[in-house]
Chains A and B, each alone.
Chain A
Amino acid sequence: MLLDLFLTFFRIGAFTFGGGYAMISVIEDICVARKEWITHEDLVNVTVIAESTPGPVAINCATFVGYRQKGLAGAAAATLGVVLPSFLIIWLISMFLDRFLEIAWVAGAFRGIRVAVGLLILDVGIRMIKKMPKEPLRIVLTACTLAAMLLISIFAWNVSTVVLLLAAGAVSLAVYLVRERTAGKDGGRE
């Protein structure tokens, strides 16, 4: 099992292009659909946790799934597995290839990969939206953060996604508290 975790996350780590988000689609494919180690909802929750804590999504997800499966040892195996590919690749690049990206076919391959990564990330986002319960508040929050994040990217504003998360969490909590207070006499609801 430990070896399985290590090898699985090694494979995932080798394909974590373009920040952590593309890896969510790889994790969903392998850990949710094929191996059934975690559920879709677990994955959404760990993404939330990963975004609100320091550290890359990749590391956070690996630690989470590893711990779920096999406790501390599992967490260590999965986390080491996920960082090892990038460690080896960067180490090789820094040793042997000074002008790595100037090699025409390498640059070409990466241009292709970046297009695929955009598609994969969009697919993850759309799937999360589709599977979300359709409450008005959630739909509004999703629409607002989507618009805000697009503006942040287009104008290259230096705003951390943590700010968006805090705002969305606060709004959701506030709405809940207000509803609880107004419905307080009937015993509240959940």
Chain B
Amino acid sequence: MKFVDEFRDADVGRALAGEILSQVEPGRHYKLMEVCGGHTHSIYKYGVDDLLPANVELVHGPGCPVCVIPMGRVDDGIAIAHREGVIFTCFGDMMRVPGSDGSLLEAKAAGADIRMVYSPLDALRIAKQNPDREVVFFAIGFETTAPSTALTLKRARAEGVKNFSCMCSHVTIVPPLRALLESPDLRLDGFIGPGHVSTVVGARPFEFIPADYGKPVVIAGFEPLDILQAISMILRQLQDGRCEVENEYKRVVPYEGNLRALEVMAEVFELRPHFEWRGLGFISHSGLKLSQAYAELDAEQRFSVPGVRVADPKACQCGEVLKGVIKPWECKVFGTGCTPERPIGTCMVSSEGACAAYYNFGRFAREREVV
């Protein structure tokens, strides 16, 4: 398909790998963070890291929307799902995220009416089909997904759907990046910027990274050639002594973002003072809740929730993985106590989670190395 096939061309990939090899200085170690879980998935799926010189290391960032949801938030969702007359809807990966006493999938097995949806619009459709039931949508995701939730809430209000509400757990990408850059644990040389978040927010919100922290950022698409090209562009900036935000993904990312999406988000959401991130703790102004104008559609106001903070399991090192401090395979329970079938930590749940991506694809290459 157009816009896909041309970005998977093996010959161009090999040429880009050669270019990258010519750009690195021998003896220097380059540590680049791919912010978005979608990039992590593509890197392992297509073996992009196998094409890189040994001194170019990719570090996986916090941009997997499932991985950053804390256990207490899952517990709140399960509490609502168990209410009499409620149909609880959420995206597929969210079903398997462990709470303190099981996942939504296990709550469904125990009798709660929990349904997977592909989009918030599907949840609204379920509400219209079940006017005698309360339908709650568990909204997760970064700025890529938040406009879809916002449009659905506007549509619900316009169509007078009274039995629909939203448990909003949307998060924003810039505050955790700033928190990571302030972390003394981490030394990075540059960032592969999140392509689909940038489709909505544009490139401008990332300007603080070169301005305040002196690191290059290249916003990239998700095909293997996109990622190789972005790595080459970061290395070129480092070679030239430049430090700026560049956009490799111009075919969908305008520098200013999608202004209509930003408008609808500003109307429907407002920033929470604090939001808890799995492994990263509470980060100021990093989560969204429904604005006053849409408060009547807020499931957390319509139903009482425990709202209890739950510490991560002791064995789980998702926090260190999300901060790029350790590699997935360095976690004590990786592939043994924690697998995609029975995840302990969120990074093993979503295919975009660094642990699951590595488990599904990268571990085979590593096994070959070990042999």
Our verdict on whether A and B bind, yes or no, reads no
